[in-house]
Amino acid sequence: MKIFTAGCALALALVMPAAQAINQEIRALFRPDPSQPNKNLFENQTANSGYCLAFPAKCADGKMFSIELPVRYSSNRPLIPGDGITVKVPADWRRLTITNQDTQETETVEVRITGVGSTYVLGDRVEEITGISHTGQAHDKLWRSGTGWLYAPSPCVGSGLSGFNSTIYRFFWHTPVEASCAKNTLFRIPSMVFDKLDFAYELKTPNPLSMSSGLYTGSITYTMGPGGDFHMGYMMFPDDETLTLDFVLDVQHTLKVDLPPGGNKVSLEPEGGWAPWIDSGRKPKRIFRDQPFFISASSRFKVMMLCDSLGGPYCTLGSPLGNSVQVKVSMSLPAGIDGPGNAPVNRIPLSFNNWAGPFQPSLYVERKPGAMHFELDPFAIDFLLRPGLNDRLRGNITIIWDSEA
């Protein structure tokens, strides 16, 4: 008889529940407003829910926004007399980096939580828990303070929002500082739940006039639960462990340059015209043209000049006869747009195939006048205005405006 002995091994895998997380997008937009040229703020595009949906005027006055999320905090045991529900949120400013998805430029956004609220749900009717038949009084007497959650414990501040029935109580507290705000129970509560998480927030956004166009994105993550950023009591555990705010800031700048009718054809002439030279042979001191244009700009930009050139910084005008001269080109911009060194832009020279700038608006400039200046130097005037020369010189000069300075 042959006996086979088989060795068996049993492998046990302990499967831990995956950590739950919740994300909330916050979008803001900057688009220049001609009626408010000095406005350099983003407009929050995120729809309000929760407190600010119920009290829009109060939030508008304080430039506050609110979001209500389906995060549920539940007690892990009955609450006994003396237990405290301590509420604490990240009320201090916190910083995050946002990045332009095209240029990879970075900026900083700051956010703080300025209020928190929810609806608490009791495991039994408050009248049964306290022995008090009047529902409002029963909610008040449930807590050591003798007042319901309409009245926030210091340092939190009540908002005036409340609503209740026998098993629920809705509240919202302002959080001016990052500290715990506690309510202590006087009775045994079989179970307690915060049904949703309602929070208000405030933003500090960068100056959009100094940012490039495009979408800037970045995130900040908060912990939730006992000892976390959103703490609702040491016996209150949320069904999500982290909250991530995903920021999307959309910068839609304007850069537009308009020429008056016929402004793309520039004729250089002496001051007062050619009559003094034709009639009396009096040589002009200047041959030039100041060509106006109108610019609308809300962000920094740079300028490049392209043309026929002999290799130096100037553009060349020539003729079929083989004559040629160089023309100097410079640019002036309206007040409100500064050049390098934060200086006004008055006849700043443009060089062939080189970027000039950057030029930075300090406010939104809407269709303000600037000028391109074209001028021959004295040597070119002497060359052209000599006896026996009859010619016409031409050339093409292209000015490139680039908002991605």
Q: How many CB atoms neighbour CB 380 within 10 A?
A: 20
Count CB atoms within 10 A of the CB of residue 67: 22
Q: What is the pTM of this model?
A: 0.79
User: Over the Cα atoms of the chain, what is R_g?
Assistant: 35
| Alpha-helical regions (H) of 96-225 | 126-130, 135-141
Helix, strand, or coil (residue 248): strand
Task: Compute the average pLDDT of residues 4-19.
Answer: 37
Q: Is the pLDDT of residue 318 over 70?
A: yes
Architecture of domain 255-402: Sandwich (2.60)
In the chain, the amino acid numbered 394 is: R
The pLDDT confidence band at residue 66, using thresholds 50, 70 and 90, is very high
Contacts of 351 (CB under 8 A, 6+ apart): 305, 313, 314
Question: Is a pLDDT exceeding 60 seen at residue 49?
Answer: yes
| Residue 67 pLDDT > 90 | yes
Tell me which H or E stretch contains 121: strand 106-122
Q: Mean per-residue pLDDT for 264-293?
A: 88
Q: What does the alpha-carbon distance between residue 14 and residue 25 come to, in Å, rounded to a whole number?
A: 35
Which span out of 65-79, 256-270, 271-285 was modeled with the highest average pLDDT?
Answer: 65-79
Contact 243, 89 (CB under 8 A): no
User: Which residue bears the tokens 């309409």?
Assistant: 150
Q: Which phi and psi (to 5°) does residue 94 adopt? A: -125, 145
Query: Would you say residue 404 has pLDDT above 70?
Result: no
Confidence of residue 17 (pLDDT cuts 50, 70, 90): very low
∠395-399-400 over CA atoms, to 5°? 145
Compute the average pLDDT of residues 145-153.
93
pLDDT over 90 (residue 138):
yes
Contact yes or no for 194/73 (Cβ under 8 A): yes
- One-letter amino acid for residue 69 of the chain: L
Nearest to 123 by CA among 179, 67, 159, 75: 75
* Percent of residues, the chain, with pLDDT higher than 70: 95
Of 360, 396, 107, residue with least CA distance to 255? 360
Q: What is the mean pLDDT of the chain?
A: 90
Residues 355-364, mean pLDDT to the nearest whole number: 92
Q: How many residues does the chain have?
A: 405
Instruction: Report pLDDT for 147.
Output: 92
pLDDT of 165 reads: 96
Rounded mean pLDDT, 86-97:
97
Domain positions in the chain: 21-251, 255-402
Q: Beta-strand (E) ranges in 298-364? A: 301-307, 315-318, 324-332, 337-338, 348-350, 355-361
116 with 158: CB under 8 angstroms?
no
d(C-alpha 253, C-alpha 10), whole Å: 65
pLDDT of residue 19: 53
Q: Is the peptide bond before 155 cis (omega within 30 degrees of 0)?
A: yes
Q: Is the pLDDT of residue 6 over 60?
A: no
Burial class (CB in 10 A: 0-12, 13-18, 19+), 85: buried
Max Cα distance, the chain (Å)? 138
pLDDT at 60: 82
Strand, coil or helix: 159: strand
